[in-house]
Structure 1
Amino acid sequence: MTSSVTDEWWREAVIYQVYVRSFADTDGDGVGDLAGVRSRLSHLVELGVDAVWLTPFYPSPMADGGYDVADYQGVDPLFGTVRDFDALLDEAHRSGVRVLVDIVPNHTSEQHAWFRAALGAPPGDPARDWYMFRDGRGENGELPPNDWESIFGGPAWTRVDDGQWYLHLFSPEQPDLNWRNPEVRSAFADILRFWLDRGVDGFRIDVAHGMIKHPELPDTGMEHQIGLLGHGDLPYFDQDEVHEIYREWRKLLDSYPGARIGVAEAWASTSERLARYVRPDELHQAFNFALLESEWSAKLFRGVVDASMQATGAVGATTTWVLGNHDVQRPVTRYGDGEQGLRRARAAALLTLALPGSVYIYQGEELGLSEVVDLPDEVRQDPIWTRSGGTDPGRDGCRIPIPWEGAQAPFGFGPADSVASWLPVPESWESMSVAVQRDTDGSTLRLYQHALALRREHAALGDGTMRWLSTPDDVLAFTRDPGFALAMNFGADPVELEVPGRVLCASGPVEAADGRVVLPGETAVWLDRS
C-alpha cells in the first residue's frame, strides 16, 4: 500500500465508510454486525481502499442508529462483542487496511450512566454539570431556556420532573454534554485511550463543530435554523473554543505510534473556518461537504475545488473529497437518478479520485446504488421521520443493506435462512450486486477498482498540486505532474478537446486520437501524458 508506508498516510488515503448495520449480517437477525464486516473485508481489499471508517457499534438503545451511545467502551450485542472488534481490527491490519472508529462526543444516550446520575441529582449538583441543564423562562419556568431548534425537528430542550430543561441538539434521547466541564474532557481522553490502546488508527468525530456552545446560550431570533446548518452563524455550532479540545486531542493522538488521526465531521460557514479544524496542531482531516452540496455545474464544482484547496493549503493540510455518506441522499439520485444520475455519479467519482488530497467512499457508491425513496412508512426508523410527523422521509433511503450476491433479496446480506434485513432491499438491485458487477465489464464496481488501482500506481495521483486547463464553459480539465490529465464534461452534448494523452480510465465511452479527445456528455476521462 503506497499511502500506508508514509508518516502522513491520510493526506492521500481513500477511506471507505462502513455503515455497520447495513454492510453484512452473520447471525441472521437482519442487522449487520462486526463479524459481517470481517467476513467481507476481501471486498475492501479488492476495491483498493487504504482505510475503513466504522459507524458506531457501542451499546445503545438505538434511538438514532447507535449515535446515542450508552457506553463508549463496549460493543452492543446487536453488533457482536469486543472480541469480534479485536478480530476485525487484527484481520484488517493484516490485510493492509487501517481502521477508524466513530466517536460521538457532542451527546450521549439518555441511558448513559452519566445522564442517569444527572437526572437523579438535584439542580446545582456537580452531576448535572456534565450536561446542559438550565432553568426555563416564563413565570414558572414553563418555557424553554431559548429558541434553539433540534436538528431532527422541534425544540432543542426537554423538561424534566424537577422543572429544569436539558439541551439536545438532536433527539430528546441524545442529551448534549457540557464540554466546559473538565471532568467531561478527562473522561473522553480516557475513552480515546481505550480504543487507541486496542490499536485503532483514528477517529471520525461526530458533530465536531458542536461541542462548545455560546456561554450565554442566546436566542438565535431565527426560524428554521436547521436550514442554516453550515451556512449561518449559530450560537451552538463552530464556536472558537472548540479548537482547544482538538489541540488536546492532537497531543494525545501524537503520543501513540503509527500516525493515528482525527477526522472532523464539521460544518462551517466558509472554507476558511473549516480549515481551522486542520491546523498543524489540531485534527488531520475535516470532511469537506461543499462538493457534496454543489449543484451539477462545471463552474460551481471548480469554485468549490479552488476555495477548498486554497483554505486547506493555507494551513498545510490537504482536502477531503466527499460525495455521500449515511446522512445525505445518494449521489446517483442527487444528480438526477436513473441512467443520467448514474452517469454523473461515475464521472464525479473520477473527478474526486483525481483531485489532490484524500477521498471518502460511502458503502454502495462503488456499486452505483441510488436512494430508495419508496420505503413503506412502517419500516422507516430514522428519528427525523418520526420527529417530523412523517413529513420528512429522513435518511433511511441511503442506508439500505448492500446487495452482495444471489437472485433474491436481500442478496446475501445475511445467512440463507436469516430473517429479512432491517430495511428491505429492492428486488431491482439483483443486477447491482457485488457478484454481478465483479464479472461485468464496464460496471461501476469495475470502474472504481480500476481507478483506485491507477491512483496507487500513477505518480501524479494522491497528494500534490494541479493546474487547470482552458476549456469550454461546461468542461473542467486539469493536469497533474508527472504526466496526468483529467477532463470532465458536465454538459449533455459531446465536446472535442485538445488534451493529448493515452486513455487510462473513463466513466463512459470516449474517443482519443491525434492529441484530441471526444468526450460524451456527463463523462470524465483520465489521460496519461508521459
Structure 2
Amino acid sequence: MALNDQNAAPESRSEWWRHAVTYQVYVRSFADSDGDGVGDLPGITSRLPYLRDLGVDALWLTPFYTSPQHDHGYDVADYCDVDPRFGTLADADTLVATAHDLGLKVIVDLVPNHTSDEHVWFQAALAAEKGSPERARYIFRDSPADRPGEPPNNWLSVFGGPAWTQLPDGQWYLHLFDSSQPDLDWRNPEVGDMFVDVLRFWLDRGVDGFRIDVAHGLVKEEGLRDQEVGEGEELGSGAPINEEHSMVERTLRDEPMWDQPEVHDVYRRWHTVLEEYDGDRMMVAEAWTQTPESMARFVRPDEMQQSFNFAWLLAPWSAKAFADVVTGTLDAMAPVGASPTWVLSNHDVVRHTTRYGGGPVGLARAKAATLAMLALPGSSYLYEGEELGLEQVDVEPAFRQDPSWFRTGEVGRDGCRVPVPWSGDAPPYGFGPGSEQPWLPQPLDWAPLTMEAQAADPDSTLAFYRSALAARRTFATTAGDEVEVLDGGSEDVLLLRRGPVTVVVNCGEQTVPLPDGELLLASAPVVDGLPPDSAAWVTTA
C-alpha cells in the first residue's frame, strides 16, 4: 500500500516545521537556576546547548505565564507576562534569542479554552451581576427551570466531578477542567480579539510557534444540552489524563463540549495573523479528536500547520496496530495536504517506556517505537527525559500535586513530570543547586540515568537518541512523503519503506531477518537478525 499527500504543492514543502523534531520542555521540571526546586527560564537557557547537541530542531515550552499554579501553569492569570517563579519577560527574551543563536526554534504554549479564576476578567465577572458584559466573557448559566438548584447540564470535568460550580447568587460557571479554570465563551467576539492580541505579543517577541492547549474545546455546542450516553456507557470528558484513559482508544460518542464546527473559524483567523510574520510561524493543535478525519480538519491549508497524532501514542505494542495508525494517519492527511505529526509521550500521559511494560523490555520497545516514529514523514515530538529512558515514577500520595488527584483520588499525571536528572549520584541530580529534593521528589536509583552518566556511555539510551537524530537528518527532508507498508512475513513484524529507507520493527518473540541493504541504525545489537522488541533502518541504493 502506498500513501502520500498528493495535494501539497512542491514549493510549499520547505517550511522548517514540516520535518522538525521538537523537544517538549516541561518548564517546572527541566532545569532550576536558583535552587528553589522548581525549573525556570534561566535554567532552560543554560541547557539549550544540550538540546542542540541532542540534535532536535525546536523546543516547546509549557506555560510560564503568571499563574496561581493550581494546574501548573495551565491556569493563566496573565497571558502577557512571566510568572516570577519562572523568571521575567527579559528572561523569556534571552531564552528565545539564545535558542535562535543555537539554531533552535521556540514554540510556546497557549491556553485559550479557559483562564485562571484569578484572571482580571474572571474577577470582574465575579463582582458583576447576572447578565453583565463581564460575565458574558465566560459561560455562566442559571439552573434549569425544571431542575432548580441543579447544574445547567450533566457535563463532567476532565479532572473528575461536575463541570459546573455554583456562586452565592445562584448562577453556575462552566469549567471543563479544574474549578479554578473557568471556560471562556468563544461565541463572544471580545474573547477572540483578546487572544489575537496575545498572539501578536509573543510573535513580536520572536517566538516561532504556538502549541494550542485543548484546541478542540474552545467552542461548545450552542444550547449546552446534556451529553447523551448509550447503554453501558458512562458520562465522560474524553481527554486522557491517566494510565487508564491514555491506554484506551476513544470510541465515537456524543460530545457536545468538544470539536464543534465553529472552532475552526478561530484558527482561520489566527492563521491570517501568523501569515503577517516572517519565518514560517506555526501552530500545533492538542486536539483529542475521535477520528483521524476530525484531526485532519485542524490542519487544513487555512488553519493550523500541525495536530498531535495521539493515535500513535495510544497504539499498543503491536505491528498491526502501528501499521493501522500509519496508514490511517497518512490517509487522513492526504486530502488536506498536511504533514503528519507523531508523538509517544507528553506531560499528560504515562511515559511510553512504562506503557510498553517497563524495565528492560519496556525500554527496548520504547527505543524501537521511537526509531519507527523518527523514520516516518512529517514531524516528531519528544518529551523531556525520554532520551534518558526515564520511566513513570510512582510518586507517593503525600507529594502528588496534580489537581486530578485531589478531585478523583486517581494517581494523575505527576509520575511523568518528575524533574530531569542531569548529573551526580543523588537528588536533585544537578537539576538545580543544593542538595534538596525538587518540587516532585526524584527516585534514589536514578544516578545511572543522568545525562552526565549516559553521555559517557556509547551504549546508553542518550547515545541511541543522538545517533537516531543524526541519522534521521540524512534522509528526513529528501526521502519523500510516500510510505509503503510491506509484507513483513509475520504478523509480529512491521515493515515500512520510505524512499531509500526500510523500517523493520520486530514486535514478536523470535529473531527475524533484515531485508537486503545496508544497516543504517538499529535499536539493539544485530547479529543473526533483528532481535525481539527492536527496530532497524536499512538503506538501499
Per the shorter chain, which TM-score range? over 0.9
Matched letter for residue 380 of structure 1:
R
Equivalent residue number for residue 246 of structure 2: none
Counterpart Cα distance in 2 of 1:148 and 1:34: 37
Structure 1 runs of 4+ with >4 Å offset: 227-230, 459-463
Counterpart Cα distance in 2 of 1:140 and 1:448: 57
For 1:131-183, what per-residue CA distance to the aligned partner results, in whole angstroms no more than 9, with x for missing partners? 00000136683100000000000000000111100000000000000000000
Counterpart Cα distance in 2 of 1:23 and 1:228: 25
Matched letter for residue 521 of structure 2:
C
Counterpart Cα distance in 1 of 2:146 and 2:372: 58
| 1:294 to partner: Cα distance | 1.0
Equivalent residue number for residue 536 of structure 2: 525
Q: Which runs of 5+ in 1 are unaligned?
A: 513-517
1:364 equivalent to 2:385? Answer yes
| 1:419 to partner: Cα distance | 3.5
Equivalent residue number for residue 3 of structure 2: none
Selected match of 1:468 from 449, 469, 485: 485
Counterpart Cα distance in 2 of 1:352 and 1:461: 16
Q: Secondary structure at the match of 1:101?
A: strand
Equivalent residue number for residue 124 of structure 1: 131
| 8 Å CA contact 1:30, 1:418 repeated in 2 | no
Counterpart Cα distance in 1 of 2:65 and 2:76: 6
Matched letter for residue 527 of structure 1:
V
| 1:111 to partner: Cα distance | 0.2
Selected match of 1:422 from 439, 458, 465: 439
| 8 Å CA contact 1:357, 1:463 repeated in 2 | no
| 1:439 to partner: Cα distance | 1.1
| 1:420 to partner: Cα distance | 2.2
1:507 equivalent to 2:523? Answer yes
- Report percent identity of matched pairs: 55
Equivalent residue number for residue 376 of structure 1: 396
Aligned pairs (5 A) from 1:181-330: 181-222=188-229, 223-226=234-237, 231=251, 232-330=253-351
Q: Secondary structure at the match of 1:100?
A: strand
Selected match of 2:140 from 133, 146, 151: 133
| 1:226 to partner: Cα distance | 3.1
Selected match of 2:58 from 48, 51, 59: 51
Counterpart Cα distance in 2 of 1:156 and 1:463: 45
| 8 Å CA contact 2:238, 2:288 repeated in 1 | no
Change (3 A) 1:466 1:56: same
Number of equivalent positions:
515
> What TM-score results when the alignment is normalised by the length of structure 2?
0.93
Equivalent residue number for residue 515 of structure 1: none
Counterpart Cα distance in 2 of 1:228 and 1:85: 30
> What TM-score results when the alignment is normalised by the length of structure 1?
0.95
Equivalent residue number for residue 398 of structure 1: 416
For 1:281-333, what per-residue CA distance to the aligned partner results, in whole angstroms no more than 9, with x for missing partners? 00000000001111111111100110001101210001111100000000010
For 1:314-363, what per-residue CA distance to the aligned partner results, in whole angstroms no more than 9, with x for missing partners? 10001111100000000010000111100100000000000111100000
Counterpart Cα distance in 2 of 1:491 and 1:461: 31
For 1:459-481, what per-residue CA distance to the aligned partner results, in whole angstroms no more than 9, with x for missing partners? 67675222122111100112222
Change (3 A) 1:351 1:24: same
Change (3 A) 1:414 1:161: same
Matched letter for residue 407 of structure 1:
D
Matched letter for residue 35 of structure 2:
G
Matched letter for residue 469 of structure 1:
L
1:487 equivalent to 2:504? Answer yes
| 1:492 to partner: Cα distance | 1.8
Q: Secondary structure at the match of 1:496?
A: coil
User: RMSD in angstroms over aligned alpha carbons?
Assistant: 1.5
Q: Secondary structure at the match of 2:268?
A: helix
1:26 equivalent to 2:33? Answer yes
Q: Which has the higher relative contact order, 1 or 2, with Cα contacts under 8 A spaced 6 or more apart?
A: 2
Q: Secondary structure at the match of 2:80?
A: coil
Aligned pairs (5 A) from 1:336-351: 336-351=357-372
Matched letter for residue 316 of structure 2:
E
For 1:58-89, what per-residue CA distance to the aligned partner results, in whole angstroms no more than 9, with x for missing partners? 01000001100000000000000001000000
